[in-house]
């Protein structure tokens, strides 16, 4: 039996990384179909243009795009905040088509609570000072996700349980590294300087909801996580924010099949198709 659709005020989700093997489009699609938000914020790294040259865009990924367009048609306000992996869209910042908009950041007043939402890459020291290292890391991460797929095929054949190799590695590195702490502190100080009560970002793929105290003051910090490993979203219902996890069994139902493959020969063709459908959804 189909579960009831949850009505919420705001959902903030990020880091889909569509067009890569790492993206978990099927549970993401289930989540999108399970909610009816007044506002849906796509907080960056939605379509991964860094690795788009491989012409990989399977059908489940396209279904996510079409579901987003359906939500626009149904009157959901959809705000696309650009990130570093979809920075090709930054040239369209401050574009509005009906109730769809593309921006660099978003500021909201939720029941008197000033909320600042952005992707977060602007505070990433590596991206701005060693972009080649960031792209090398992204390429290595992509290779690992493909290798992980082969491992899971083997595990499935012998009756074993699927695993996400890169998830445990990233989580261990994050816990031991001061880089994440510095990233969070920089964001907190910027938010405190702006006088906001809550700051929401993505980028790190590490979902967290906590209060950060610095020499400048304190602020609530939420990282909405990703749809590669954690299936998480920052949600607001009646003025109350929370970090929610969408459970999805990483099994047969979410695995890709040969019938899922859909190769797009030219990324411009995909972008043109999305823009055309978006124009129809926004105005009709």
The Cβ of residue 210 has, within 10 Å, a number of other Cβ atoms equal to: 11
Per-domain residue ranges for the chain?
6-278
Confidence of residue 253 (pLDDT cuts 50, 70, 90): very low
User: Is residue 76 scored above 70 in pLDDT?
Assistant: yes
The Cβ-side half-sphere exposure at 236, using a 13 Å CA radius, reads 20
User: Is residue 133 scored above 90 in pLDDT?
Assistant: no
What per-residue confidence (pLDDT) applies to 252? Answer: 40
pLDDT digits (tens, 9 = 90+) for 189-202: 999 999 999 999 99
Return mean pLDDT, the chain.
81
As a whole number, mean pLDDT of residues 63-80 equals: 96
User: Is residue 38 scored above 90 in pLDDT?
Assistant: yes
Please, is 24 exposed, middle or buried when counting C-beta atoms within 10 Å of its C-beta (0-12, 13-18, 19+)?
A: buried
User: Is residue 277 scored above 80 in pLDDT?
Assistant: no
DSSP string, the chain: -PPPPEEEEEEEE----BTSTT--HHHHHHHHHHEEEEEEEEES-SB-GGGGGG----HHHHHHHHHHHHHHHTT-EEEEE--STTGGGGGGTTEEETTEEEES-EEEEETTEEEEE---GGG-HHHHH-HHHHHHHHHHHHHHHHHHHHHHHHHHHTTPPP--HHHHHHHHHHHH-HHHHHHHHHHHHHHHHHT-SEEEE-SS---EEEEEEETTEEEEEEE---TTTT-EEEEEETTEEEEEE-----STTTS--GGG----S-HHHHHHHHHHHHHHHHH-
What per-residue confidence (pLDDT) applies to 267? Answer: 57
User: What CATH architecture is 6-278?
Assistant: 4-Layer Sandwich (3.60)
The pTM of this model reads 0.78
What per-residue confidence (pLDDT) applies to 22? Answer: 84
Please state, for a pLDDT cut of 90, what percent of the chain lies above it: 55
Confidence of residue 134 (pLDDT cuts 50, 70, 90): very low
What per-residue confidence (pLDDT) applies to 158? Answer: 76
């Amino acid at each position: 039996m189909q579960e009831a659709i949850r009505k919420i005020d705001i959902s903030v989700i990020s880091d889909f990384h569509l067009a890569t093997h790492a993206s978990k489009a099927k549970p993401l699609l289930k989540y999108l179909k399970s909610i009816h938000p007044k506002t849906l914020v796509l907080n960056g790294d939605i379509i991964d243009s860094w690795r788009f040259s491989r012409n990989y865009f399977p059908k489940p990924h396209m279904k996510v795009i079409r579901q987003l367009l359906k939500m626009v048609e149904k009157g959901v306000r959809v705000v696309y905040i650009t990130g570093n992996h979809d920075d090709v869209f930054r040239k369209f910042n401050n574009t509005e088509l009906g109730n769809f908009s593309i921006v660099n950041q978003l500021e909201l007043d939720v029941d008197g609570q000033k909320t600042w939402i952005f992707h977060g890459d602007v505070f990433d020291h590596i991206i701005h000072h060693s972009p080649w290292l960031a792209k090398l890391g992204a390429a290595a991460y992509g290779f690992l996700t493909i290798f992980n797929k082969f491992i899971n095929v083997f595990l499935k054949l012998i009756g074993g349980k699927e695993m996400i190799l890169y998830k445990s590695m990233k989580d261990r590195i994050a816990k031991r590294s001061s880089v994440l702490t510095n990233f969070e502190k920089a964001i907190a100080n910027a938010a405190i300087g702006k006088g906001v009560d809550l700051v929401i970002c993505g980028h790190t793929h590490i979902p967290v909801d906590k209060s950060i105290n610095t020499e400048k003051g304190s602020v609530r910090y939420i990282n909405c996580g990703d749809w590669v490993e954690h299936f998480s979203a920052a949600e607001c219902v009646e003025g109350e924010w929370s970090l929610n996890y969408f459970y999805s069994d990483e099994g047969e139902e979410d695995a890709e099949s040969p019938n899922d493959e859909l190769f797009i020969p030219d990324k411009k063709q995909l972008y043109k198709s999305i823009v055309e459908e978006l124009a129809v959804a926004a105005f009709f």
